[in-house]
Structure 1
């Protein structure tokens, strides 16, 4: 089968590789759509931290936002899974450590991360092996494009849950990228007054075009009470800004990651009695996200600029934005 393989920093190619076989407890999925995200771009550039800690190494087959159809099942897996439309969790814990058995498999020390950590192949390929326990069934009302947005939107849902806004509260989201806009959609569906802080006019104009006109820069940000602040950016200075801006006694959530240390002053947290929440993944947010998509309360598809083939992925990872202002690019591995 064809798969996109990163062979070194800034180097990648589409290769013919051996198709996966479903082992015990696993299925093989025919991939319909896969998303490209900032983590993938960091892997391509060589900046991703796992490459420097030994938790990832080249060559790598990326892709952890996906949807598809179960094509085969391994030993011990119910054949009723065959033909089901699914997406799935990126985080694959060992299943037997204290973290896994207490519902924290996404922070298992020995976890695989699909397309990211410890060599589990990703979804930028025609087929993908996945443990059946990681699967989330997609209803007919959630098409392949929306299905491949469940994983990033699951991060957004967890961020909104973590910020714990009061009813009708005012939320400031730092970073109007894909995660930031998905967070805005989820928060708005729950009745929040959503504001976005960005740097470029293009990103803020796009946010306004999909229903979020309250977009600001650091120069224009109004002096308002922020009942919660979510940092969905990759700016090293913004976590500290989130703590500075949030109303005392409220919460800040960190779902974005900078490629360099992003420092906060713990005195500000303590003296303002602020709760800081970190969100690593969509684990725990899949079912709720599918419900939001299926009900129509959240439609992530306007965030997709284009769907390209495997041969175009290297250009996307290198920063080509010629497909439009929307922040997300999808890949059809069979096109």
Structure 2
């Protein structure tokens, strides 16, 4: 089979690149995955602990809310402890933005039009420039300006885009260009329409999200449809999946969306069947246990878990490691798409975990060797 698959190619929208701390956003940089803490920012111990879990899940950037002086006072300690850039979420109180910038935030999430006069916007811009902060403009269908609601009658894509352009102009008027923009809505059609309109109007990086998407299952589905549609169209430079769930779950779902489209790779991609009466082992429970047992693996690889030999061999040929159900509790294991050995029911999960860990170590060793060879040639 040819390795050229044009029907899988996604042509990303060309956007200019900005820096959020040490992380590039936009241009040809990888699409980053974000989340937001739900602890009190004024409690740095709890907030740092939650950030650490999100870092382990793979978060590239994390946002914390700064609604009061106590929060910005704790921000410096949080920034120093975090391994990833911190975005300070600011609403209305422009002084919180000044304090957050001085405390080391890599980015300020604001709506310039909501923080008061042009002089206040200028102060925030000066603080951002002085501290090397980016700014994220966050337009939300639930908090559109009154004049736009009167003009359009209801939240619509055109209203969200106009709001974003108005906020962008406020920053550009003060010669500030290190910004990214989000135009979020809980309605998938509204959000997708707004992002598509904005993508044509500006060249800045776009932060994707379906806001107030819902719980883990419902919110994942809505986000996959909305964010996935936009990413498939080449739109989007950074994403946040908004779920009524722990923030590390948002990170995991974000990566699954990107992995499904071939835009990022991280950890084990599991290919598994829905199970049926032909299954040679309990596929559902096996996959659940394997996903939990392999959550620590960060190396990109693929694992197929199929209950029988109908589709199993075909799927196994396309994955690094595979297992298909057989009779009498004896199942076939595939390595690099080739039948290799059998495994019994009673130790199948431990055996597969060991194989995955060994494969991860092999891949990592190969990567290091390749890098060493490259550096040797360069020297």
TM-score range, shorter chain: under 0.3
Normalized per residue, the structure richer in strand is: 1
TM, length-normalised to structure 1: 0.25
Normalized per residue, the structure richer in helix is: 2
Higher relative contact order (CA 8 A, sep 6+): 1
